[in-house]
Chain A
C-alpha cells in the first residue's frame, strides 16, 4: 500500500476525477439542453416556436435517415416514406376517427409497410444503383398521390386533418403541440441511439465496412439491410404523422425532391459517421436558413454551393472537426482560465 502522498496515487486520483468529469460532461450538456428546450417555448415568439417544432420533426427524419446509411445504403426515398406516414395519419384520423396517440404510431407502421415493399426489390441493388432505384420507387408512390383523387386528393392533397387530442386534452395550439413533438422526438432519438450503440448497430456498420466478410462471419446481410431500412421507415412515418397534424393539410409537394435534397444537405454538412453528425448538420443549416431568409431567391444557389464546398473541403462533415476541437472544449474551467492568462501574458509581453 502506498501512502497518499505518493505522487503516483495522487496522479490516479486526479485522473479518476477528470475521468468522472469527462463521463459526466455529456450528460450535463444534454440535461441543460433539455431544460432550455422546456422553458424556451414560453419565451419564444410564435414564429420561432413553430420553427422549433418543425426542427423536432426534422430531427427524427435526419437521425432515422442516418440509421439506414450505417449499412451503406443511401436511400433517396426517405422523404416519401415520411409522406406515407403523413398520408396514413391524415386518412386514419379523418376517416377512422382514431385518437392522435394511436394514429401517430400507426403512421409509423404504414411507412414501415411501404418501406418493406420498397426494400425487397432494392436489396438487389447496392451503392449508386440503390440510390437511383430508391428515387424511382419514391417518385412512383409520390405520383400515385398526385394522380389518384380518392383517397389521396390528387395534387391538392388532403385538407381538414382533425386537430390532435390526447384523452380530451387539446394539443392543437402551439405550446402543447411543441411539447408533443419534443417528447416524441426525445423518445425516437433515444431508441435510435440505443439501436446505433447496440450489437445490431455494430453489425449494420460491419455490413458497410465489408459486406462479404460480414456475411461469412454469420451476419445475414439481406435480413439486416431490410431491417435497418424498415426501422428507418418507421421513424420517418412517425415524423410524417407529426407533420400532418402540425400542418392540418398535406399535399404531394411536401414530400418532393427539394425536401429530399435538404435532408441530404443536413447529412452532408454534419457527416453521417457518428450519431451526432446529422444533428449538428441540421442545427447549422436550419440557423443558416433563417439568417438568409431575405435572400430567398438565391437560396438554391447558396445551398448548391454549400453542398459542393463541403464535399470538396470537408467530406467528413462538421463532425469530422469534433476530434480536433473536442479536447480543447473538454478541458476543465481552471485549465481554460490558465490558458487565457498565459495567452494574455505573452500578448502583453509582446506589446
Chain B
C-alpha cells in the first residue's frame, strides 16, 4: 500500500484550475520529486496535501487513512508534515525553542499540567530529542541563538529540524535548497538522503534546482497547468519531449546541468 495517495484531486481558485484531477501514489521509503514550470500547481498541491487548503474535489490518503479536509495540525498528528517555500520560523525564539515548540503534539500538555509543571520529566525527554535532531541537522552548536539572526542556509535547515520534531512519516519539502549557495545545497541534499536512508522518512520534494532533483529523486512527477504531464525515472524525464516542450525550450537548462542524454 502506498504511503501517500491522491485520487482525482482538484483545487480550483475561481476559474483557475491550480490542481486538476490528479492521481498520485508515493510508496513508503521513496524520495519523490515534483517538478514543473512556474504556476504548474506544485505548491498548491503541497498546500492541499498538508491541509492548508481544502481540496475542491478528490481525496488524499495517508497510510490508507483519508486526510483530505482535516486541519494541518491533525494531518501532522497522523505523520504528514510540510516545510515552506518561504523562510518560516518563530523568529523571537531561539533555535532550540523553535524545535521544542514543534514537539507540541507529542508533549500534549494540559492546562493543569502547565500550571503545576507536572510534565517536567517528559520535558527533559523532549529537549533531549530536540537536541538530537539539531545535532543531526548540524545546528546544535548554535542552539541558543535567536533564530532570526541565523544565516539563510541555517534558517532553512531549522525549518527542516522543526518538521522532524513532529516525528513525521512523510516529509514534504517545498524548495528546500532555494537561495542556497553550492555548499549549503550539497549539505542539504546529503541530509535529505540520510533522512530517508537512516530515519526511514518518505520524502516528497518540490524543487526548481534540476541538479538537486535529478541527483536526489529516484522517481519524478511532472506537473503542467495542474495536470500530471508524466512520471518516471530522472533519465526518462529529461529526454521526454512533452517535458521539454512544457519548459518552453528550457531543455537547455537540463543540458547545461549535464543530465540530458
Residues of A within 8 A of B (CB): 191, 194-195, 198-203, 205-206, 209-210, 212-222, 227, 231
Q: How many chain B residues have a CB neighbour from A under 8 Å?
A: 37
Q: Say whether, besides A206-B90, A209-B93, A199 and B73 are in contact (CB < 8 Å).
A: no
Contact B109 A199 (CB under 8 A): yes
Q: Which residues of B contact A218 (CB under 8 A)?
A: 73, 76-77, 81, 102, 104-105, 166
Q: Say whether, besides A199-B104, A206-B90, A217 and B114 are in contact (CB < 8 Å).
A: no
Contact B117 A216 (CB under 8 A): no
Q: Which residues of A contact B91 (CB under 8 A)?
A: 209
A112 to B164, CA, bound (A): 36
Interface of chain A, main secondary structure = helix
Q: Chain B: which residue is nearest A220 at the CB level?
A: B73
Contact B52 A216 (CB under 8 A): yes
Q: Which residues of B contact A214 (CB under 8 A)?
A: 90, 101
Q: Which residues of A contact B50 (CB under 8 A)?
A: 216
Q: Nearest-CB distance from B220 to chain A (Å)?
A: 25
Q: Which residues of B contact A199 (CB under 8 A)?
A: 100-101, 104, 107, 109, 114, 119, 123
Q: Which residues of A contact B111 (CB under 8 A)?
A: 195, 200, 227, 231
Q: Which residues of A contact B71 (CB under 8 A)?
A: 215, 220, 222
Q: Nearest-CB distance from A312 to chain B (Å)?
A: 23
Residues of B within 8 A of A (CB): 50, 52, 71-74, 76-77, 81-82, 84, 88-93, 97, 100-102, 104-105, 107, 109, 111, 113-117, 119, 123, 162-163, 165-166
Q: Say whether, besides A202-B101, A216-B50, A210 and B88 are in contact (CB < 8 Å).
A: yes
Q: Chain B: which residue is nearest A193 at the CB level?
A: B115
A274 to B163, CA, bound (A): 28
* 7 more A-B residue pairs beyond the given contacts A210-B88, A216-B50, A216-B72, with a C-beta to C-beta distance below 8 A: A205-B90, A206-B93, A209-B92, A213-B84, A216-B76, A218-B102, A219-B101
Q: Say whether, besides A199-B123, A202-B97, A202-B101, A215 and B73 are in contact (CB < 8 Å).
A: yes
Q: Which residues of B contact A202 (CB under 8 A)?
A: 93, 97, 100-101
Contact B115 A203 (CB under 8 A): no
A17 to B162, CA, bound (A): 37
Q: Chain A: which residue is nearest B91 at the CB level?
A: A209
Contact B117 A198 (CB under 8 A): yes
Q: Say whether, besides A202-B97, A206-B101, A220-B73, A195 and B114 are in contact (CB < 8 Å).
A: yes
Total A-B Cβ pairs within 8 A: 94
Q: Which residues of A contact B52 (CB under 8 A)?
A: 212, 215-216
Q: Which residues of A contact B90 (CB under 8 A)?
A: 205-206, 209-210, 213-214
Q: Nearest-CB distance from B67 to chain A (Å)?
A: 13
Interface of chain B, main secondary structure = helix
Q: Chain A: which residue is nearest B114 at the CB level?
A: A198
Contact B88 A213 (CB under 8 A): yes
Q: Which residues of B contact A191 (CB under 8 A)?
A: 115
A/B interface sample: 6 pairs, CB < 8 A: A195-B111, A198-B109, A199-B123, A206-B90, A216-B72, A218-B81
A222 to B105, CA, bound (A): 15
A222 to B100, CA, bound (A): 20
Q: Which residues of B contact A227 (CB under 8 A)?
A: 111
A221 to B113, CA, bound (A): 19
Q: Nearest-CB distance from B155 to chain A (Å)?
A: 12
Contact A217 B84 (CB under 8 A): no
A215 to B105, CA, bound (A): 11
Q: Which residues of A contact B109 (CB under 8 A)?
A: 198-200
A34 to B216, CA, bound (A): 63
Q: Which residues of B contact A205 (CB under 8 A)?
A: 90, 92-93
Q: Nearest-CB distance from B88 to chain A (Å)?
A: 4
Q: Say whether, besides A206-B93, A213-B90, A216-B81, A221 and B104 are in contact (CB < 8 Å).
A: no
A212 to B91, CA, bound (A): 14
**Interface pairs A-B: 8 shortest CB-CB:** A198-B114, A218-B105, A217-B102, A218-B76, A209-B90, A220-B73, A213-B88, A215-B72
Q: Which residues of B contact A209 (CB under 8 A)?
A: 90-93
Q: Residue among B71, B90, B117 with the most chain A CB within 10 A? A: B90
Q: Chain A: which residue is nearest B126 at the CB level?
A: A199
Contact A203 B101 (CB under 8 A): yes
A46 to B64, CA, bound (A): 71
Contact B123 A213 (CB under 8 A): no
Partner of B73, one of A200, A201, A221: A221
Q: Which residues of B contact A217 (CB under 8 A)?
A: 76, 81, 101-102, 104, 162-163, 165-166
Contact B114 A201 (CB under 8 A): yes
Partner of B104, one of A210, A219, A222: A219
Q: Nearest-CB distance from B166 to chain A (Å)?
A: 5
A215 to B84, CA, bound (A): 12
Q: Which residues of B contact A216 (CB under 8 A)?
A: 50, 52, 72-73, 76, 81-82, 84
Q: Nearest-CB distance from A53 to chain B (Å)?
A: 25
A199 to B89, CA, bound (A): 17
Q: Nearest-CB distance from A22 to chain B (Å)?
A: 17
Q: Which residues of A contact B104 (CB under 8 A)?
A: 199, 203, 217-219
A210 to B155, CA, bound (A): 15
A314 to B72, CA, bound (A): 38
A139 to B117, CA, bound (A): 38
A212 to B52, CA, bound (A): 8
Q: Nearest-CB distance from B161 to chain A (Å)?
A: 11
Contact A194 B73 (CB under 8 A): no
Q: Which residues of A contact B74 (CB under 8 A)?
A: 220
Q: Which residues of B contact A200 (CB under 8 A)?
A: 109, 111, 114
Q: Which residues of A contact B123 (CB under 8 A)?
A: 199
